[in-house]
Amino acid sequence: MTHSDEISTGLNQRTLKRSIHCTGVGLHSGAKVSMKIKPADPDSGIVFVRTDPRGGQAEIPALWDRVIDTRMCTVIGNGRGVNVGTVEHLLAGLAGAGVDNAVIEIDGPEVPIMDGSAAPFVFLAECAGLEEQSVLRKVLRVRKQIAVGDAQRRATLTPGFGSSYSFEIAFDHPMMKHNTGSLEMDGDAFKTEISRARTFGFLHEVEELRKLGLARGGSLENAVVISGDTILNEEGLRYEDEFVRHKILDSVGDLFLAGHRIIGHFHGWRSGHMLNNKLLHAMFADTSSFELGEITEDDIEPESWNFQPRLVANA
């Protein structure tokens, strides 16, 4: 089986059929960026290549141990000063579209924010088409619970069939005091229920971030902005619980930095990029907590993959 137009079992690795290009601005840098997503060989994973003079053609594998910063986004680097920031939305889109291997050529320090969600990246992958490769996927099966965090924030991985995610957020704000959501990860569920959820922030935080040199490219075109009890975006929210869905989106992208799909269940309680990366560090530090192997039918149970979001509001 070599092409995506043949019957797919979901067991083989996939890449793009052809290269595809996009441009945009970086959320934090404000820099205009041009990016090309290209096909890649089996078992190569996702690799970024900085094509600008500052980058010097540096290659940066999208891996957990290449993460160098988790403030407001996930940044990976090559250890020699060449970095790529805000990788999580693109990685979530590739994971949700079923892409295992790709080369990302980028001429700046940050992935373009697009509309603040992963939907544009899913769209790009669909436009390029998927090529099924003649090599089985490798997966990381969670064998025992791994947990990081404290009473205020927590992230866990537990054994389970398929790849599933759940998340709880709790902000001191009437619109999102306690929201919960869950996702059984397959391509359709991610695309329809998660991919369009945008990054979000409070207006007063945006102003402070800009003083720190961050969020320079942020606007109502690429983020949900909240002021008091008002959504400033003219179109409002895309989902009633868009905030928690975006946190699931971030988690999908952050955990794709494991280098392979994780078979198990992720749960985040007020987690973020830092804890998500700490969770991967904790897993790889304990080799008894996971098993790396080729995917089997037992790892995927499509009949049980139903997205059932729920919204719980506590006064």
| C-alpha torsion 281→287→288→290, nearest 10 | 70
Angle at 218 between CA 206 and CA 183, to 5 degrees: 95
Q: Are 249 and 194 in contact (CB under 8 A)?
A: yes
- Tokens 């019957």: give the residue: 7
How far is residue 129's CA from residue 143's CA, in Å, rounded to a whole number?
Answer: 34
> Which of these is catalytic: 28, 89, 246, 273?
273
28 is catalytic: no
16 DSSP β-pair partners = 130
How far is residue 252's CA from residue 272's CA, in Å, rounded to a whole number?
Answer: 11
Q: How many Å separate Cα 304 from the centre of its chain?
A: 23
Q: Which residues are catalytic?
A: 273
